[in-house]
Amino acid sequence: MMLVGHYDFPGPMSQQKSVYELFHAKFSGRTKLVQARVSQRPQKNLETSLRSRSIVFLALGMYAAAELSADMPVLVAENGLIALNMPLTPSRSGSCSTRTMHPFYLGILRSVFEDLGMENELVNPLELKTKGECVAQCSNLGLLKSLIPRTVSCSHATRRQDWKRKNAANCGYCVPCLFRRASLHAAKLDFGEEYGIDVCSDELTIESDASSADDLRAVASAFRHFRSDMGIRKAITAVAPAEPLDAYVNLIQRGLTELRSWIADKGSASLREAAGLLEGSHA
């Protein structure tokens, strides 16, 4: 097993090494960590979005696999909900959100790699699983538990100025963090004090004027707007084709159910009300 890591600043580099230590100890002689720095040159380039990182990361993985053998697959393990990155609100459609692991995007890249004569398969083995299902079906729960404190799902990991716990690794309020907490909840592995902000304890509320509450509001909005399969179909296809569509619609429904269950069990009264989980409220 070869783990290919990318990093944009020193934080992820050391985090990847920390995660690798456990893999190396568990699978001695079967793992290797390859890291490559990805950054702008020159740093003052007019293009500041770094959107092309998606291609760079996958190309690095393909290169590493090809060096091993032509039949070595590249496994890009990303749960289906984050891979689709379906817009939870209209403002998140189009290029406002990256979709590095979207099945349509991966399909296009497969065609490009094939045209270049690269035989290695590019596969997301988790494309039809929710994050909660990935946790529940993990074949080594002990290793998973030990990895949780070392892993980062967060998209705001460097914005610590308003965190209650600034030494945390994950913010706790971005979409990836919310899905992370919901996925760990069913396995009784979710603890709010491990995050910069515990949204279940009203350390950040939907009513807050802070932009950091935008993702929380987007999730609450999704509960209202995606009550039917038709609404989910429209949101998925507005981004790009995803086949089989029925399977992805069902995937979204299961993912939203995980979020609802987490909020119903752990959320404050205000959060449960916003999610439509209090009597008399409407999701």
pLDDT tens for each residue of 178-227: 999 999 998 999 999 999 999 999 999 999 999 999 999 999 989 988 98
Task: Give the list of residues 6+ apart from residue 100 with CB closer than 8 angstroms, or none.
Answer: 53, 54, 57, 58, 78
Q: Is residue 212 part of a domain?
A: yes
- As a whole number of angstroms, the distance between CA 7 and CA 126 comes to 23
Q: Is residue 46 part of a domain?
A: no
Peptide bond into 241 cis (omega under 30): no
Q: Is residue 198 part of a domain?
A: yes
Residue labelled with tokens 């080594």? 140
| Residue 117 belongs to domain spanning | 51-274
Q: Is residue 19 part of a domain?
A: no
Q: Is residue 45 part of a domain?
A: no
Q: Is residue 152 part of a domain?
A: yes
Least confident interval from 39-48, 123-132, 195-204, 272-281: 39-48
DSSP single-letter state for residue 4: E
- As a whole number of angstroms, the distance between CA 177 and CA 201 comes to 15
- Count of structural domains within the chain: 1
pLDDT of res. 5? 53
pLDDT of res. 7? 44
Mean pLDDT of 230-240: 91
Kindly report the three-state secondary structure assignment for every residue of 131-178: HHHHHHCCCCHHHHHHHHHHCCCCCCCCCCCCCCCCCCCECCCCHHHH
Cα dihedral 204, 205, 210, 216 in deg (nearest 10): 90
CB contact at 8 A, 173 and 216: yes
Q: Is residue 98 part of a domain?
A: yes
Q: Considering the chain, what is the average pLDDT of its residues?
A: 88
Looking at the chain, the whole-number percentage of residues with pLDDT higher than 90 is 66
Q: Is residue 110 part of a domain?
A: yes
pLDDT tens for each residue of 158-167: 888 899 999 9
pTM to 2 decimal places: 0.88
